[in-house]
Amino acid sequence: MTAIKVKTLADRVRCDFPILKQEVHGLPLIYLDNAATSQKPVAVIETLSDYYKSYNANVHRGDHCLSGKATDAYEAARDKVANFVNAASRQEIVFTRNATEAINLVAYSWGLNNLKSGDEIILSVMEHHSNLVPWQTIAQKTGAVIKYVQLSENEELDIEHYKSLLSDKTKLVALVHISNALGCINPVEEIVKLGHQYGAKVLIDACQSVPHITIDVQAIDCDWLVGSGHKMCGPTGIGFLYGKQDLLEEMPPFLGGGEMISEVFLDHFTCGELPHKFEAGTPAIAEAIALGAAVDYLTNLGMDNIHAYEEELIAYLFKKLQQIPKLRIYGPKPTADGKGRAALVAFNVEGLHASDLSTMLDQEGVAIRSGHHCTQPLHRVLGASGSARASLHFYNTREEIDAFIVALKNTIDFFSSAME
């Protein structure tokens, strides 16, 4: 009897991603750089195109038909994002250009006005530069002190060290949910609860978690959370900030100009209501609407289904990589069924440069990333100048992992032979 292959999630959705059908250097593309940016389904691409073809107009202040349609679609996208992360109100979602801008918004609007000399900010050594540089700048301007949570022996966030850093001086905790290099999933609910016990505000960088697992900001109870559209099957140039409404109402505008005002006089102005007071100028209208389409797409697939399938993938990839000699994987080891780690792996092969690996793999049609992944301090802690990184999404398959492993072994053998 012939066995019937059960269709995986990837089997069902790959037809929605036209970019995956191409060849690179004469070989089928295997895209394993999803932590850098995700690919876009047809529904998102067509939404962008439809906006420009059918109702391209500025939003909010126009009385004509196209402006009304654009405004409705733009604000509907805000509702979709609010529901996606379970915000208590649509007013708690602010559209930004990206997650970096969202963090800077909080840093300059809240941080600059609430932190003072001697106050303490808690970050971690695994943070993306976007969650380091803004706070370093604010600390320089205010005299606040930054403290860094170190790694545990398993190369995860050392929660006991985090607890030891908390004190009445702690005013802000800003930590990543999922590390883009270690793949560890930090216990954000516990992190927030502990921070709040000392009266600190807590910001969560969820760029690597929003596309892969269910996010509930009310359950997490964070004060702010940021996400990036292009990592969640949406377009570039759009991100979002979630913030508790009372906090956002207290925060002054980050940028000034059109859209964010209520009234303007020659000697003063008044701000618009939330969330518009943080969205100065013409927003990324098409991108926001297309982000809404991406949210629809992910919602229809089901975030629990995505997470469960990616657990299968990471368990399979991790097992295959562990069989390669002299290969060092960073971050915690997942369980046999893929729990305890996100679907990405940063690694190095002894004696080989990560960029050489990624360049050679590209010749085999395999797209991975090499470098420090915007985590230079983390790589210094790990004793590495950089690393290679393979990162998965729900449209990747076991067959692609197999092809990647073959290409990786061939690349290692090539360099080993060349050095003999």
**Percentage of the chain modeled with pLDDT above 90:** 93
The residues, any chain, with a CB within 8 Å of residue 229's CB and separated by 6 or more, are: 98, 235, 236, 237, 238, 239, 240, 287, 290, 291, 294
pLDDT of residue 380: 98
Asked whether residue 166 carries a pLDDT value surpassing 80, the answer given is: yes
Nearest to 132 by CA among 314, 352, 376: 376
Range in 8-17, 215-224, 263-272 with the lowest mean pLDDT: 263-272
pLDDT of residue 1: 47
Residue 2: pLDDT band by 50, 70, 90 thresholds? low
Give the active site residues: 374
Look up residue 400 and give its two tokens.
Answer: 């692609």
pLDDT digits (tens, 9 = 90+) for 97-140: 999 999 999 999 999 999 999 999 999 999 999 999 999 999 99
- Output phi, psi for 182, to 5 deg: -90, -25
Using an 8 Å Cβ cutoff, are 401 and 8 in contact?
A: no
Residue-range domain boundaries for the chain: 9-40+303-419, 45-300
C-alpha 39/C-alpha 223 separation (Å) is 30
Instruction: Please report, as a single letter, which amino acid is at residue 98.
Output: N
Global pTM exceeds 0.75: yes
The residues, any chain, with a CB within 8 Å of residue 390's CB and separated by 6 or more, are: 32, 317, 344, 345, 347, 368, 404
pLDDT of residue 258: 86
The CATH number fitting domain 45-300, selected from 3.90.1150.30, 1.10.580.10, 3.40.50.300, 3.40.640.10: 3.40.640.10
The residues, any chain, with a CB within 8 Å of residue 141's CB and separated by 6 or more, are: 112
pLDDT of residue 262: 85
SS3 of 161, please?
A: helix
Residue 61: pLDDT band by 50, 70, 90 thresholds? confident
pLDDT digits (tens, 9 = 90+) for 295-304: 999 999 999 9
Using an 8 Å Cβ cutoff, are 309 and 98 in contact?
A: no
pLDDT of residue 5: 59
pLDDT digits (tens, 9 = 90+) for 383-394: 999 999 999 999
As a CATH number, domain 9-40+303-419 is: 3.90.1150.10
Asked whether residue 54 carries a pLDDT value surpassing 90, the answer given is: yes
Nearest to 293 by CA among 208, 234, 206, 212: 234
